[in-house]
Structures are given as structure tokens and as C-alpha cells.
Amino acid sequence: MFPAVRVSVTYAVHLRSAPPYAGFRIQGTPIRLHTLAHRLRRLPPSCGSVRLVGVDGHAGSGKSTFADCLAGALGGVPVLRLDDIATHDELFAWTGRLLREVVEPLGRGETARYRPYDWRRRDFGPARALPPAPVILVEGVGAGRRALRPHLAQLLWMETPPEDAWARGRRRDGSAQSDFWERWVPAERRHFADDPSEPFADHLVRQCSDGYEVLPRTTGTPVR
């Protein structure tokens, strides 16, 4: 899909108490975004010297904006957009290419090089370098897929109901992209039915009036 316009903003992130979810318990005390960032920096590396942090959720759920905020709180760390990896022909069948071009080189301590996909030209653009960094965010639908989870230090899931997220995405992209959305929604449904991310998330992220709620799972997270 066409990448949305990126807006750099600063939010407070709160961990607030919430009712229990099926299969796990949620608890927390209020923190700010820099505290979440501090905790991510302290995680053990997960891919060579890099802490890969996945930001997953339904299309239109606010992943890109949240990832921008978190990247800023982390001091401007790189954000790998899965919109740059997916293509018209490979909405979700890009795992092998991402592993070869990005994950495996980073795991060896090398600079990754990948060619971002141009959705308007329907072709790949010039190669882009992604050197190892202490933290790299991987943002997009499918960031928490089965093949990537072993390489993630943490997985964050944007807790927005799918119908609400898709409606937001349709409004954002306008009528020019209506045909694309007609194809995208069933493809996303199939992907998450076959390879769900949300049950494996370490934290659930919700937008609220004053920023975000980040709710940590403390028990019951399935084994990755």
C-alpha cells in the first residue's frame, strides 16, 4: 500500500491497569515514552548486536506514527518500514527476501542492503543501506510473523480492532486506493489467520486522548 505521510510528534505513553485478557494478565504503573525506550535499550541483543523491535498491527492501526514517536524517544534509531519490503505481487510473501537482505546481514554484524519498493512505479528503487544499530524498529503488518519472532528482542502490537483500523486506512488513502483496499483486507485476514502476531506480543499499545497506553503481558504469552 502507499506509505502514509509520516508525522513526527511526541506522545506520553502510560502503562495503566486494565481488566484481564483471556489467557494472560495485564498490569502496570504510569510511565512515559522515554521509560519504555530505556527498557528497550536494556534488552539483550536479538540479531547480532542489534535489538530488533517489531511494531505490528492491522493496516491503519497507527503503527507508523507510534514507531516514529518511539524512534525519537530512542534517539533517532532506524525504522525499517515493511511497506518498503512488500510489493503488489507479494503483499505478505516477502519473508525470505527480508531475511536474506536485512536480518541475516545484521545478524552477522554487517550492513544490510535492501531495495525499497516504489508503489507508484510498481518497481524496486535504488538500494538502501541499513547498518547495525543498538535498536532497530521493524514496523508494519506482519512484523511479528512466525519467521521473524526468533530475531526480535520485543514485539509490540497496536491494539485497534481490525474494522476500525481498516476504516481509518481507507479514509487516509482516499478513494484512489479503494481497489487496493478491496484486495488488501482479505489478504490481511488470511495472513493473521495463518500466522497471528497478537498472541505473541510482549506489549499491547492503544491510542488514547493523551497519547498511548502500553500494556505489558505478564503471564500467558505463548512460546515463540
Q: Is residue 221 part of a domain?
A: no
Count how many domains the chain has.
1
Q: Is residue 4 part of a domain?
A: no
Q: Is residue 7 part of a domain?
A: no
Q: Is residue 67 part of a domain?
A: yes
Which residues are within 8 A (CB) of 67 and not within 5 positions of it... i.e. 6 or more apart? 55, 79, 137, 139
Q: Is residue 223 part of a domain?
A: no
One digit per residue, pLDDT tens: the chain, 224 residues?
A: 544 333 333 333 433 333 333 333 344 544 567 788 999 999 999 999 999 999 999 999 999 999 999 999 999 999 999 999 999 999 999 999 999 999 999 999 999 999 999 999 999 999 999 999 999 999 999 999 999 999 999 999 999 899 999 999 999 989 888 998 999 999 999 999 999 999 999 999 888 777 788 887 765 545 55
Distance, C-alpha 42 to centroid of its chain: 19
- The predicted model scores a pTM of 0.85
Q: Is residue 222 part of a domain?
A: no
Domain of 205, in residue numbers: 12-216
For 174, the grid coordinates are 482516499
Amino acid at 214: V
Q: Is residue 99 part of a domain?
A: yes
Burial of 78 (0-12, 13-18, 19+ CB in 10 A): middle
CATH of the domain at 114: 3.40.50.300
Read off φ and ψ for residue 44, nearest 5 degrees: -65, 145
Enumerate the H helices of 102-219 as residue ranges.
Answer: 104-107, 162-173, 178-194
d(CA 48, CA 178): 41
Q: Is residue 88 part of a domain?
A: yes
Burial 3-13 (b: 16+ CB within 10 A, else e): ebeeeeeebeb
